């Protein structure tokens, strides 16, 4: 069941989201009423006490009681707000025991996920519905932030330390992941999807790993892998300038490399560049920030098939 609380908040896709939204709506209605009172008194005064000849402003007296009242009464309110907010926060900060643990590595500009089995996937991760899941986050380079609006969850990925986020997804289907801490050129392309599936499908996925969709040919799968593995954040396919060499016309293209050698883009070069990006860097790029990928041979074949069509 999905609940759309209102136009202000995204769908609630985890068990903890509703509580955060209740708190949000409470502060929202308080703010609306407070603003209405302030604006109401202002507008009333502007009309009622507009300057008229012969009418002077009332002198200002000292009303200590009133001053103390509006200093002290809000204090009770903010203590309540703080308490409530902290309670929900702590609940969302301490992971439930037995949660499925998934490692998240952030690197310019992709999310890599690693399951307890050692299987790694990029940009698209499957998790079982109604089971708590804990993401243990780290960064390989600069700051990033793992943001899942559907779960109202967010935590920075900080180089040199681990941080974590957990929630229990309660709705099958995709959850959007954003990078919320500015990280450079393709910051806004650093997206991922959490696919919430039923347990049977999840177990099958853990056992068999990623493959093409039923009936999908290698080119179509390769095209899908191109975005799924975030290749698109650095390699354009229309020849436009991007942080890495464009894939337009890449197949068979002669390249010269920073170490002075030259070569042609073929199967071995593509394979090496995916698994060991530092090995041969195209000379116009000087250095590379591309992270090494851990993907299967079948996936590499599909990507090669796709490259040949560009």
Partner 1 sequence: MGAVSTTAPARSHEGTPDPNENYLKATRGIASWLFTLDHKRIGIMYLVLVLIAFGLGGTFALLVRLELFTRGKTLMDADMYNRMFTLHGVVMVFLFIIPSIPAALGNFILPIQLGAKDVAFPRLNLMSLYIYAFGACFAVYSMVDGAVDTGWTFYTPYSTSTNSAVIPMVLGAFIMGFSSILTGVNFLVTVHKLRAPGQTWTRLSLFTWALYATSIIQVLATPVLAITLLLLTMERFLGLGIFDPKLGGDPVLFQHFFWFYSHPAVYIMIVPGMGIVNELLSTFSRRAIVGYMFVAMSSLGLALLGFLVWGHHLFVSGMSEYATMVFSALTFLVAIPSGVKVFNWVATLWKGSIRLDSPMLYALSFIFLFTIGGLTGLFLGVLAIDVHLHDTYFVVAHFHYVMVGGTVMGFVGGLHYWWPKITGKLYNEKMAKFAWFFVFIGFNVTFIAQFIMGSRGMPRRYYDYLPEYESFHRISTMGSWLLAFGFLTMALMFVQSLRNGKKSSRNPWGSAALEWQTATPPPLANFVKVPTITRGPYDYHLATEEELSET
Stretch that binds partner 1, among 76-84, 116-124, 214-222, 253-261 (CB under 8 A): 76-84
Smaller CB distance to partner 1: residue 8 or 284?
A: 8
Smaller CB distance to partner 1: residue 1 or 90?
A: 90
160 belongs to the binding site for partner 1 (CB under 8 A): yes
Distance CA 183, CA 108 (A): 7
Q: Which of 86, 198, 261, 264 binds partner 1 (CB under 8 A)?
A: 86
Contacts of 193 (CB under 8 A, 6+ apart): 123, 124, 125, 174, 175, 176, 177
**Residue window 133-152: x/- pattern of binding to partner 1, with contact defined by CB under 8 A:** --------xxx-x-x-x--x
Q: Which of 1, 78, 207, 208 binds partner 1 (CB under 8 A)?
A: 78
Q: Which residues pair with 264 in a beta bridge?
A: 254
12 belongs to the binding site for partner 1 (CB under 8 A): no
Smaller CB distance to partner 1: residue 71 or 117?
A: 71
* Minimum gap (Å) between residue 296 Cβ and partner 1: 29
Site residues for partner 1, 32-71, by CB under 8 A, read: 34-35, 38-39, 41-42, 45-46, 49-52, 55-60, 63, 66-67, 70-71
Q: Hey, what are 195's tokens?
A: 């696919």
* Minimum gap (Å) between residue 15 Cβ and partner 1: 14
75 belongs to the binding site for partner 1 (CB under 8 A): yes
Q: Please, what is the angle between helix 218-228 and helix 297-308, to 10°? A: 100
Q: Which of 2, 89, 204, 262 binds partner 1 (CB under 8 A)?
A: 89
Task: Dihedral sign for Cα 124, 127, 130, 133, please.
Answer: negative
Residue matched to tokens 């079982």: 128
* Minimum gap (Å) between residue 149 Cβ and partner 1: 3
* Minimum gap (Å) between residue 39 Cβ and partner 1: 6
308 vs 79, 88, 119, 238, 256, CA distance in Å? 63, 52, 28, 14, 20
Distance CA 150, CA 176 (A): 7
Stretch that binds partner 1, among 80-88, 115-123, 260-268, 298-306 (CB under 8 A): 80-88
Q: Hey, what are 40's tokens?
A: 């109401």
207 belongs to the binding site for partner 1 (CB under 8 A): no
Give 6-43 as a DSSP string: -TTS--B-BTTHHHHHHHHHHHHHHHHHHHHHHHHHHH
**Residue window 274-293: x/- pattern of binding to partner 1, with contact defined by CB under 8 A:** --------------------
Site residues for partner 1, 111-130, by CB under 8 A, read: none
Task: Dihedral sign for Cα 272, 274, 279, 283, please.
Answer: positive
Q: Which of 2, 3, 29, 31 binds partner 1 (CB under 8 A)?
A: 31
Query: In the 8-state DSSP scheme, what is residue 211?
Result: -
């Amino acid at each position: 069941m999905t609940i759309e609380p209102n136009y202000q908040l995204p769908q609630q896709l985890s068990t903890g989201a509703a509580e955060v939204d209740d708190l949000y709506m409470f502060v929202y209605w308080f703010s609306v009423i407070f603003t209405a009172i302030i604006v109401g008194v202002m507008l009333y005064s502007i009309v009622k006490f507009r300057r008229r000849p012969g009418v002077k402003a009332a002198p200002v007296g000292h009303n200590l009681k009133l001053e103390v009242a509006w200093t002290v009464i809000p204090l009770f309110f903010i203590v309540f707000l703080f308490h409530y907010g902290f309670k929900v926060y702590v609940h969302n900060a301490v992971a439930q025991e037995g949660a499925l643990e998934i490692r998240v590595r952030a690197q310019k500009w992709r999310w890599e996920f690693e399951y307890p089995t050692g299987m790694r996937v990029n940009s698209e991760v499957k998790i079982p519905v109604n089971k708590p899941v804990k993401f243990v986050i780290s960064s390989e380079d600069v700051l990033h932030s793992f943001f899942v609006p559907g779960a109202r969850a967010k935590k920075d990925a900080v180089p040199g330390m681990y941080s974590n986020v957990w929630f229990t997804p309660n709705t099958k289907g995709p959850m959007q992941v954003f990078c919320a801490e500015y990280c450079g050129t393709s910051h806004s392309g650093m997206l991922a999807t959490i696919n919430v599936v039923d347990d049977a499908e999840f177990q099958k996925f853990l056992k068999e790993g990623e493959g093409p969709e039923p009936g999908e040919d290698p080119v179509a799968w390769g095209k899908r892998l191109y975005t799924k593995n975030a290749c698109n954040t650095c390699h354009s396919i229309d020849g436009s300038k991007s942080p890495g060499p464009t894939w337009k016309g890449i197949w068979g293209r002669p390249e010269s490399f920073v170490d002075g050698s030259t070569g042609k883009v073929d199967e071995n070069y593509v394979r090496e560049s995916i698994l060991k990006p530092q090995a041969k860097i195209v000379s116009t790029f000087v250095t590379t920030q591309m992270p090494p990928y851990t993907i299967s041979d079948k996936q590499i074949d599909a990507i090669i098939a796709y490259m040949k069509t560009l």
